[in-house]
Amino acid sequence: MTANAPLRHLLKIPVIVAALGYMVDMYDLFLFNIVRVPSLRDLGLTQEELFTKGAFILNVQMAGMLLGGILWGVLGDKRGRLSVLFGSILLYSLANIANGFVATFDQYLFLRFIAGIGLAGELGAGITLVAEILPKEIRGYGTTLVATVGVLGAILAYFVADIFSWRTSYFVGGGLGLVLLLMRVSVFESGIFLHLKNKHVKRGNFLMLFSSWARFSKYMSSILVGMPIWFVSGVLIFFSPEFGQALGVTEPVVAGKAVMLAFAGQVLGDIISGYLSQVFQSRKKGMLVFMLGSYAMMLVYLLTTTQSLTTFYIICACLGFFNGFWTLFVTIAAELFGTNLRATVATTVPNFVRASVIPISTLFLLAKGEWGITNGAIAVGTLVMAISLLALWRLEETFTKDLNYAEEDAPALELAVPEVSSPKALSEK
């Protein structure tokens, strides 16, 4: 590979469009976290309902992502990665535009569920496409690029919501999605998937993940390793105003700013974790470093009593930095399984992790009532991290894994795949 070859591969249109798609996805996914308080107040909810009904909307949105993850994942393996990239962005863009017109809590709840279904398809399809078109030596850089650019979407959501009303912020998100939809016209399908279509291999069979213990165990482990990320995002950062009050911060904590700072930290964390995996030649070692750092920062966040709002926000940014192993987590999910199940896994796994915020937040609310908000969070966070470290230990290393194979009930079928880099090349072949 020549010196400029990695850069040439990373600047391919599918990589760039996948990265921009994930940016819009993250904008829309975390916009509710940012505008939760002003939007629900505008709809007439009480201060207590901002907490309880806000958590309910988040859970319903994540339930939509859980359902959408299965739907888009199966569709991605049966019909192709591009069908998901087009369909998912159209659904969540229209849902977010409609979200700007809501007049009642029930309408808000319903549209966040629909948006959640749409948002579920973007990351998995994009990561799958990027992993399949890039050489294995640099696909870690490709997925890092997608994840890093994607996280910028959450930061953009903060600044848009800071300038405009919460309704306009939803309009902007929907509009960005529709613009991106036009860019997708020039994106070509994965050559590995196109070759597989001519083979007599089951594609997108979700039940195959449960047809053998080895495959099921691998699938469950790939989900469990990502749970600490959503404990941090869905509990510690989402409820940052409540944690700030409990920890003695004298000024009100703005949830939107906590989200923005956490994701600003995650941008750097994504880059560093992706780089470490290349240096270590190991996804697992890079993840271990960040998972241990994440647990340490959880304890700092929950045990540091401070009156300084600035100190609290700095800790939020550090929490976000150690959430940067999201890059490695989604990359491993895409690399663990064969081409005929890859989109199904890469799409469902991150959405199952996102949906894990439902039992995690429910457990946290129970622990909060029993031990208080900080001790309850420590107990739940410790349990989540212990489960995730065990799952990481069980996972295979995927750094040098060849993705050119299909999952079968029998031993994996090796596929000879021609290199396809453009629609023109396809027609010539």
Q: Domain segments of the chain: what residues?
A: 11-190+206-401
pTM of the model: 0.75
Q: Are 329 and 351 in contact (CB under 8 A)?
A: no
Answer whether residue 42 shows pLDDT above 80: yes
Q: Are 291 and 325 in contact (CB under 8 A)?
A: yes
Contacts with 282 (C-beta within 8 Å, 6 or more apart), sequence order: 397, 399
C-alpha separations of 339 from 129, 190, 398, 412 in Å: 11, 10, 14, 10
* Average pLDDT rounded to a whole number, residues 415-423: 43
Query: For residue 144, with 0-12 CB atoms within 10 Å meaning exposed, 13-18 middle and 19 or more buried, which class applies?
Result: buried
pLDDT at residue 357 in the model: 84
What is the Cα–Cα distance from 57 to 49, expressed in whole angstroms? Answer: 11
Q: Are 384 and 118 in contact (CB under 8 A)?
A: no
For the structural domain made of 11-190+206-401, what CATH number should be given?
1.20.1250.20
pLDDT bracket for residue 229 (50, 70, 90):
very high
Question: Positive or negative, the Cα torsion across 277, 283, 285, 289?
Answer: positive
What is the Cα–Cα distance from 415 to 129, expressed in whole angstroms? Answer: 17
Tell me which H or E stretch contains 365.
helix 357-371
Q: Are 111 and 95 in contact (CB under 8 A)?
A: yes
Contacts with 136 (C-beta within 8 Å, 6 or more apart), sequence order: 400, 401, 402, 403
pLDDT at residue 199 in the model: 64
Amino acid at the residue 261: L
* Average pLDDT rounded to a whole number, residues 332-361: 85
- Residue reference for tokens 């915020």: 357
pLDDT at residue 191 in the model: 55
